[in-house]
A and B are shown apart, each in its own frame.
Chain A
Amino acid sequence: MTVERELAPGEWSVLALLAEQPGHGWALARKMAREGEIGRVWALGRPLVYRALELLEERGMIEAAGSERGVRGPNRTVFRATPAGREALAIWLKEPVEHVRDVRSLLLLKLVLIDRGGLDRAPLLQAQRAVVLPSVQALEARLNESSGSEAIFTRFRLESTRAVVEFIDGLLNEQPAGVAAAS
């Protein structure tokens, strides 16, 4: 057996959408388009959505659950998440993002998917906080030792990294009422 590559964020997004409700490729592609519900955070073009469906099915994370008659053209296959797919998704959604530079895209994607799924975001946020805090401390130390343009640059990175901590703390301190209001 060959080692399987880790799913890409767009592929996780397709799986998450199918865990919310069964759907066909066309509807998924619309949500993943640049101006779509998920696409605003993480966009995936139509051909890649179909490729993601193939891969997820191959891995047993989704399965065909019937077909729907297309308005024009052929019938569309409706897919749904399998229990194995849901379990893998739940684990991924709790894993923190490794690099601070990926927070803007990947952490926000996970939070949006968690919010849509009505799941608890606290485990992810706690884990993410633990990953980001050492970066803040390292940058504080570097700032003390730097000068000139290096200091300007480090100061900016420090404040951007602190912003991530502030963002996480803000969400952690919030009453989970937002989850219910989301739907």
Chain B
Amino acid sequence: MAERNLAPGEWAVLALLSEHPAHGWAVASQLEPNGELGAVWSLGRPLVYRSIDILVERKLIEPAGHEPGLRGPNRTIFRATPAGAEALRAWLAEPVEHVRDVRSLLLLKLVFAERAGVDPRPMLASQHETVTAAVTSLEARIRSSAGGESILLRFRLETTRAVLRFVDSMLESGTELQAAV
């Protein structure tokens, strides 16, 4: 049966639980707008709990004990399963398909790769290829466009070139980033 791909927020929860086991409350705090990861990806508390349910259903995470709550019921602690860790590794190694998703997905992957101490360069090298193809295709479309259409395409071209510069500068600084971890 074909399952839908995990949403970015679900990947973020899986990535956090791969770093170390935690309960939903702690994961949600990191994904608050002001939390550790909120600048890259924020997720409301109810969505964090829903993501946990989905990840459990798919056996990417599993309960790993309880922690007494300060008030109220005990909290379940979750940890990534070996299958979850493997799925995450594969996802981190995969470039983002659409340039419009770079702002969210690519940044998310880079941040988690860095936190996990994974070398992002192989992924960035494939990302360089897909973005270069997008630049070439936009350049061609601009040559045969005029007026308002051409203004919009030019803007898309420049933002796509910006993504390419970003990818390339991350590739160059990869070694230095690794050293900084």
Residues 164-183 of A contacting B (Cβ, < 8 Å): 164, 166-167, 170-171, 178, 181-183
Known: A112-B151, A112-B152. A149 touches B165 (CB 8 A): no
Known: A163-B158, A181-B146. A115 touches B40 (CB 8 A): no
B170–A152 touching, CB < 8 Å: yes
Q: What's the least CB distance linking A91 to chain B, in Å?
A: 21
A115–B151 touching, CB < 8 Å: yes
8 Å CB contact of A166 from B39, B147, B152, B161: B161
A149–B111 touching, CB < 8 Å: yes
Closest residue of chain A to B163, judged by CB?
A159
User: Which residues from chain A contact B110 at a C-beta distance below 8 Å?
Assistant: 149, 152
Quick check: is B94 within 8 A (CB to CB) of the other chain? no
User: Which residues from chain A contact B133 at a C-beta distance below 8 Å?
Assistant: none
B151–A170 touching, CB < 8 Å: no
Residues 87-115 of A contacting B (Cβ, < 8 Å): 104, 108, 111-112, 115
Residues 113-166 of B contacting A (Cβ, < 8 Å): 114-115, 146-148, 150-152, 154-155, 158-159, 161-163, 165-166
Q: What's the least CB distance linking A22 to chain B, in Å?
A: 21
Quick check: is B103 within 8 A (CB to CB) of the other chain? yes
User: Which residues from chain A contact B111 at a C-beta distance below 8 Å?
Assistant: 149, 152-153
Known: A148-B180, A149-B115, A155-B170. A160 touches B152 (CB 8 A): no
Closest residue of chain B to A182, judged by CB?
B147
8 Å CB contact of A170 from B103, B115, B158, B166: B158
Q: What's the least CB distance linking A64 to chain B, in Å?
A: 28
B103–A156 touching, CB < 8 Å: yes
In the bound complex, CA of A175 to CA of B154 (Å): 15
A104–B107 touching, CB < 8 Å: no
Instruction: Count residues of chain B with CB under 8 A from any CB of chain A.
Output: 30
Q: What's the least CB distance linking B168 to chain A, in Å?
A: 10
B39–A153 touching, CB < 8 Å: yes
User: Which residues from chain A contact B154 at a C-beta distance below 8 Å?
Assistant: 167, 170-171
Contact size range, A? 20 to 34
Q: What's the least CB distance linking A110 to chain B, in Å?
A: 10
User: Which residues from chain A contact B147 at a C-beta distance below 8 Å?
Assistant: 115-116, 178, 181-183
Known: A116-B148, A155-B170, A181-B147. A163 touches B114 (CB 8 A): no
The 6 closest A-B pairs by CB, nearest first: A182-B147, A163-B162, A167-B158, A112-B148, A159-B162, A163-B158
Binding site for B on A (CB under 8 A): 37, 40-41, 104, 108, 111-112, 115-116, 147-153, 155-156, 159-160, 162-164, 166-167, 170-171, 178, 181-183
Binding site for A on B (CB under 8 A): 37, 39-40, 102-103, 107, 110-111, 114-115, 146-148, 150-152, 154-155, 158-159, 161-163, 165-166, 169-170, 177, 180-181
Q: A150-B39, A155-B169, A163-B159 are in contact. List 17 more A-B contacts (CB 8 A).
A: A37-B148, A104-B159, A108-B151, A108-B155, A112-B151, A115-B151, A149-B114, A151-B177, A152-B110, A152-B170, A155-B166, A156-B103, A159-B166, A159-B169, A167-B154, A167-B158, A171-B151
Can you report 14 residue pairs joining A to B where beta carbons are below 8 Å apart?
Answer: A108-B152, A112-B152, A116-B147, A148-B114, A149-B37, A149-B39, A152-B170, A153-B39, A153-B107, A153-B111, A156-B102, A164-B158, A166-B158, A167-B158
